[in-house]
Every structure is written in C-alpha cells, then in structure tokens.
Amino acid sequence: MPDARPRPLADVRVLAVEQYGAGPFGTVHLAELGADVIKIEDVRSGGDVGRAVPPYQAGTDSLFFEAFNHDKRSVALDLTNRSGRAVFEDLVRVSDAVYSNLRGDVPEKLRLRYADLAHVKPQIVCVSLSGFGMTGPRRAEPAYDYIVQGLAGWQSLTGEPAGPPTKSGLSLVDYSGGLVAALALLAAVHAARRDGIGCDCDTALFDTAMSMLTYVAAWALAPDGAYEPERLPFSAHPSIVPFQNFRTADGWIVVVCAKEKFWQRLVDVLGIEDVRDDARFAGFAARRANRDLVVSTLQDVLATKPTQHWVGALTAAGIPCGPINDVRAALADPQTAARGLVAETEHPAFGAARWIASPVRVGESPAQHRRAPQLGEHTEPVLRELLGYDAARITALRAAGAFGAAS
C-alpha cells in the first residue's frame, strides 16, 4: 500500500546557486525526495548554462536541463544588486541550506559562506561544491569533470594499454561530486536542527575523484612502493582474474569470478576441465600471475557462441555476468521498466520529456514529477508564498533591478 506520509525531505528547503551538471545533479535527488529546491538564476546571463545545451534545445530550455532540474523551482535574482541581495537574504531566513557549485573563490566573492549568512540565520547550512575546494593552491582555478579525471589519475587507468589516456564515457566525477555535496547538505542540516548552528560544507570534485581511487591508492601508497597502477586490456580488474570484458561471436560480455566458486562453475560451463589440475589456474594469485594465459583460454571458448547464449548459460550456473549494452539496449532492459527508472512529464516544447529517475528510494510512495522550470518562472509565486511580498513590493524590486534588469 502506498505510503501516505509526506515525501522524506518535504520539510527541507534549499536555495541552489547552481548550473550545468555537478551541482544540479546533487540537488535533483533532493528534489525527487521532496525537498523544495529553488534555483537562483541570473537572467542577465541566460540563467543556468545547461538551458542552452544542444541537441534538444528550445528557447531557454533543453532536454539536458530537464534531466538535471525537474521537480525544482526557478527564481530570477541578481545577487550583485542590493535589492536582489536583500531578497536573497529574506529567502535564506526561510530556508535550510544555500547550495552552490561555483569556482572555489567565488562563494567568498558572492558572500555565500556561513560567515556571510550566519547573521541572517544562525542555522543556515552553506554548501559549496567547487572544482578544488575553497582552500589550496588551485582554489581559484576552473574545473570540469574531464580535467579532474586527468588530474586525479582516472584517465591513466582507463582505456586500452596501447591507447591514449581515456576518460569515462560519462561525467562520473561531476555526478559523484553532486551526490557528495547532497550528502554533506543532509548531514549538516540534521546537525543544524539538533544544535541550532549551521556551518560550511566545503566539497570538491577533486576531493571526490581522489577518494574514489580507494584500493588503487592504498596499493600505490604501500610502504614498499612496489605496486604500479596501470591500464589493463578489456577493462580488466587489476587483481582478480577473470573479471573483465570478453568478445563473443556477436558482441561482448562481462564475466566476473570474484569468488573461487564462480571460477569452478565457469570451468564447468565452458568445458575446460583440463585446467582444473593446472597450477597456473589454481587460485586468485596464480591466475593473476598467469593473466594472459587464463584470459586467452577463456576467450577462445567465449568467441565461439553469441552473447545471449553465454549470458543464459552463465546466469543459470550462478556466475556473475552480463551483456555490454548500448544505451538504447540498457533503456529497453526489462529491469529498467520493472524498477520504474524512466520518468516522464509533459513539456511545452518537447512533448513527452523523459529522464532517468533518482535511484534513491525511501518508502513506498512514488514521486509525482514536475517538468524543469522556465527561467524565473517561480519568482513572483515564491516571493508571495514564502516572503509575503505584495504586488507593489515586487514591482518596486523589479524596477530596482533585483531580478536582473530594471523595467
């Protein structure tokens, strides 16, 4: 039975000075959980730069923007204008967090840190997601996912050994950074409600990418200095064999033997029982030491039949595996539909706008989605609803340039 309670974050309000990918990706999950995420956009610059991203772009909206900003509201404000700043501070008084993804030195310039807003509301949480954080020699440098994947060593580990350094096909640093910032925000709001005092959350794409080196970094930091991180053929795992992509007769399959029992089952399914008594195949260490031999032995067999044959046979034997889908095949996978992962709203320019719903599930109630907001669409409704501004005051603010341009 659907949960009749409000959405989990229905009592959380976030002012998001955000744009493009990393920042909006973090807050869209909060919005899907019920938070009131209010995008603060500067109409002078056309608002969030994601609004202009092709190929599906119309007016001040795009499907790129929709993917990151559905279920949010948009308020047009010029934070450098005195009247605009006053409105912003009024919104701070009725909000839980100010969230930004700007260059590391910009929160100080725009006065978005806790030190700048504590006098307005002592409980306010100020989250900054920047490329390199608000401290350190790179704090004032711009950063994008591609750059950080290079700096943090990711590209040196991705791609074929003989090929060039390669980034992930998706902006995983951006997306992971957004989730880190959202997690920091929730923890800080919890603490602020408990203690009555807010704080800064200084999060960074670089920090996020470095943290995700995990065991590779631990091995590289080992006292003996013997481990050298490297790229391996066919996206192979650095220590477990087999744990990689293999060619089939008509495509590719991923095979994972992360436990010895999976290896024993694989031997049976592939009909290579003769390796059972071969010391070069016996155990994780031996297979790693003889990686080329193990992989070539498996590849010779896997190349003889199509992907679906092997997926069926390996799955039936309880061996972790899967086809390497293209994006359309992934979207058409029955599990995608069963999990309700494709969400949809009606859009005035694009008709049915669809995106992948948040994987964060809390309770049983499905989210009721709204399309992404038009630039400044909710300025007047928000100021009336949350701040009690009347028509005369809103008109005066518009004339003073609070919303980005005097009229």
Q: Give the CATH number of the domain where residue 197 resides.
A: 3.40.50.10540
The string of pLDDT tens digits covering residues 27-43 is: 999 999 999 999 999 99
Q: Which residues of the chain have pLDDT under 70?
A: 1-3, 365-367, 406-407
CA distance 230 to 149: 15
* Pairing, β 61-62 against β 57-58: antiparallel
- Domain stops at, among 290, 323, 356: 323
Q: Are residues 279 and 150 in the same domain?
A: no
Q: How many domains does the chain have?
A: 2
Is position 222 within any domain? no
Residue given tokens 């603060």 in the structure block: 40
Q: Are residues 367 and 312 in the same domain?
A: no
pTM: predicted TM-score of the whole model, two decimal places: 0.93
pLDDT at 1: 52
Domain interval for residue 383: 13-211+338-399
Q: Are residues 130 and 53 in the same domain?
A: yes
pLDDT at 407: 38
Is position 25 within any domain? yes
Is position 197 within any domain? yes
Q: Are residues 80 and 132 in the same domain?
A: yes
Helix (H) and strand (E) counts in the chain: 17, 13
Confirm if 76 and 41 have CB atoms less than 8 A apart.
yes
Q: Are residues 267 and 386 in the same domain?
A: no
CA distance 245 to 114: 48
The string of pLDDT tens digits covering residues 254-297 is: 999 999 999 999 999 999 999 999 999 999 999 999 999 999 99
Q: Are residues 243 and 352 in the same domain?
A: no
pLDDT at 4: 76
CB-neighbour burial class of residue 216 (10 A; exposed 0-12, middle 13-18, buried 19+) = middle
Confirm if 202 and 135 have CB atoms less than 8 A apart.
yes
pLDDT at 262: 98
CB-neighbour burial class of residue 201 (10 A; exposed 0-12, middle 13-18, buried 19+) = buried
User: Which region holds residue 312: left if phi is over 0, alpha if psi is between -120 and 50, else beta?
Assistant: alpha
